[in-house]
Amino acid sequence: MRRLIAIQTCRAVLDGLTAADIKARLDSQFLQDLGLSQTSKQSSQSEESSQMPYMEKRIQVKGGHSYSKQLLSTKQDANSFSTWMESLKASPDLVSYSLMPIHTLVRPGNRRREVLRQAIKEYVAERGPLMPIHTLVRPGDRRRVVLRQAIKEYVSERGHKKSCPRSCPQGGQADALDPCKCYCSGNPITNSMCCSLNRGMARLKVHVLRGTDLWGDTVTNTDAYVRVLFQGQIMETGHIRNNNNPIWSKDLDFGPVMLPVKPELKIEVWDKDLWRDEYLGDCNTYLEVGKSETLTCSLEYGHLEFSYTLECGPNLGGNNCHEYVPVRG
């Protein structure tokens, strides 16, 4: 009997569960399905329901007379399992096997055993075992290496390549044997398997473009700069001297951030003065993933243009990156 369960590892990580936690529950559930556990059926159904978002089940029963879903249904009891076990006597299936040299079929001490072993040895020697084709060239001959490399490239070009729906996230690296498996190191928003550590993990970059018709000084033009505030972080542009229409074209990279349900960004415009900077106004905007339009912040005098990019962490989606999204094959 084989029960294969594929676990949505990244989804479990987001909800604070480890693969070990789920495995322990599944081991208990398996015994309950067979009617071999004393745990109550109500508890069993509750646990199975809580695990459903994390798994896909495939059940395979070999041998005997039983339909796998009936055998492992919670409506059945230990009698179903016992009936199936009894039917294996009449309809068994291969569980395991081992390969042994054919001469071992003859009992030790029988002289025909050694004769048979020698005959098989000579037969193999005459025809030769299966060997890579490049071994036909003698060791030390440089053509041996060239041929080996050519064969490797030929197989690589024509071999079946597994395609994945998306590439690894920023900072991740694909596994050499399984290109759909990623590994991440040194990434503050993911674990080693490139799963986002928490819902709401994202990367934020604000693009401060330009100001128009600003007014901060009565004698000279404005020495303006912009301050951007988000979740306790503050970033600023440099100030542009004596210009009421400054062009910053400045990227303020907040890096990894944790988004609340309604992420709000605040932008302030200031006039830099010798003694004390003068506040020219501000505006607030709620952030949305995927929004790429230029926004306008209206001030008492003039306005500011800016935009932003907000990218969810791996396996996250929705307007605020709180939804689980499977992205790899």
CA distance readout (Å), 121 to 100, 118, 213:
14, 5, 95
Cα separation, 243 vs 212, whole angstroms: 9
Cα separation, 256 vs 259, whole angstroms: 10
Are the CB atoms for 37 and 56 separated by under 8 Å?
Answer: no
Q: Using the 8-state DSSP alphabet, how is residue 239 labeled?
A: P
Question: Tens digits of per-residue pLDDT, 59-77?
Answer: 677 777 765 555 655 555 5
Angle between helices 41-51 and 19-33 in degrees, nearest 10 = 140
Are the CB atoms for 246 and 211 separated by under 8 Å?
Answer: yes
Q: What is the dihedral of CA 44, 47, 50, 55, to 10 degrees?
A: -90
The residue ranges of every structural domain in the chain are 2-87, 201-324
Are the CB atoms for 70 and 81 separated by under 8 Å?
Answer: no
> pLDDT tens digits for the chain (329 residues)?
666 777 777 888 888 887 677 777 777 665 565 555 555 544 444 444 444 556 666 767 777 776 555 565 555 556 777 787 788 788 887 767 777 888 888 888 888 888 888 888 887 777 666 667 667 677 888 877 877 787 777 666 655 556 676 678 777 888 777 777 888 887 788 888 888 999 999 999 999 999 999 998 778 899 999 999 999 999 999 999 999 999 999 999 999 999 999 999 999 999 998 888 999 999 999 999 988 889 999 999 999 999 999 999 989 999 899 999 886 54
Strands 201-212 and 247-258, sheet pairing? antiparallel
Cα separation, 266 vs 209, whole angstroms: 15
Contacts of 26 (CB under 8 A, 6+ apart): 5, 51, 55
Q: What CATH code is assigned to 201-324?
A: 2.60.40.150
Structure tokens at 198: 């928490």
Question: Tens digits of per-residue pLDDT, 260-292?
Answer: 999 999 999 999 988 889 999 999 999 999 888
Segment holding 8, helix H or strand E: none
Which of 251, 209, 257 shows the shortest CA–CA distance to 233? Answer: 257
Tell me the residue type at 239.
Answer: H
CA distance readout (Å), 281 to 87, 214, 236, 285, 302:
82, 10, 15, 14, 10
Cα separation, 256 vs 157, whole angstroms: 39
Cα separation, 210 vs 212, whole angstroms: 7
Tell me the torsion sign for CA atoms 257, 260, 261, 267. negative
* pLDDT value of residue 71: 60
Report the chain's terminal Cα–Cα distance, integer Å.
27
